[in-house]
Amino acid sequence: MAKGAGMIHPNMATMLAVVTTDAAVEPAVLDAALRHAAELSFNSISIDGDTSTNDTLLVMANGVAGTPPIVGLSTPDGAVFLEGLTALCQRLAQAIVRDGEGATRFVTITVRGARTPADAKLAAMTIAKSPLVKTALYGADPNWGRVLCAIGYSGADVDPGRVLLHFGGLKVLEHGLPLPFDERAASDRLNVPEVAVDADLGLGTGEATVWTCDFSEDYVKINAEYRT
């Protein structure tokens, strides 16, 4: 189970999550598994790019299943456990995004072709927390310039002339230049509850996927009236 609504951004921010399992797992192995799962789930989401002092993710294993203890993630049982824990954490993290304050769209952002996975994650998270990108997504505006701008200032290694960008599977930018795409068709692909933004930096094999939501008037209203 997990709780979160706003002020959500790595590292986890205003979020409380508890995962339980009946498996028997050595404490050090359980710790390593959770850190791996968190990086690909709760540390790969953003509601508003803001954080707070309160965040917790716990995993508890009671061993009542009676199976042999998992002593390593490289063992067959360990690999299966790690896969299951990661999938569950991703499902919970995505549920937090879907329940974001004022959210109307669930957005999957994938950056490929980066020099390193770290660069891919940096670029993807910068897109995810950009207010200009998030408001454009709320308006179903295929504003490729805002996405390219966020990639550019992300700090990742970028060559604008190599960047390829898709909105909802529709190619809108290639070699850093806009294509003559159908604006209405592109807008229609963004005017849906679940949106995909895909960027290829054309520099390597690094890849990362993060999840975010749009910014609506309701987000402003909720936070403007937070105390009043």
pLDDT score for 101: 94
pLDDT tens for each residue of 18-31: 999 999 999 999 99
**The pLDDT of residue 89 is above 80:** yes
pLDDT tens for each residue of 181-219: 999 999 999 999 999 999 999 999 999 999 999 999 999
One domain for residues 62 and 148 = no
**The pLDDT of residue 13 is above 80:** no
Q: How confident is the model at residue 167 (pLDDT cuts 50, 70, 90)?
A: very high
Residue 183 has which token pair? 């604006």
Domain that holds residue 124: 106-224
- C-alpha 117/C-alpha 43 separation (Å) is 14
pLDDT tens for each residue of 146-157: 999 999 999 999
One domain for residues 78 and 164 = no
Q: Please report, for the domain that includes residue 65, its CATH number.
A: 3.30.2330.10
Choose, from 14, 21, 86, 126, the residue flagged as catalytic.
Answer: 14
> 194-200 and 106-114: which strand pairing?
parallel
The answer to whether 14 is a known catalytic residue is: yes
What is the pTM assigned to this prediction? Answer: 0.94
One domain for residues 41 and 136 = no
One domain for residues 76 and 118 = no
- C-alpha 99/C-alpha 75 separation (Å) is 36
One domain for residues 32 and 129 = no
pLDDT above 90 coverage of the chain, percent: 89
Q: 93-120 burial string, b = 16+ CB within 10 Å, else e?
A: bbebbebbbbbbbbbbbbbbbbbbeebb
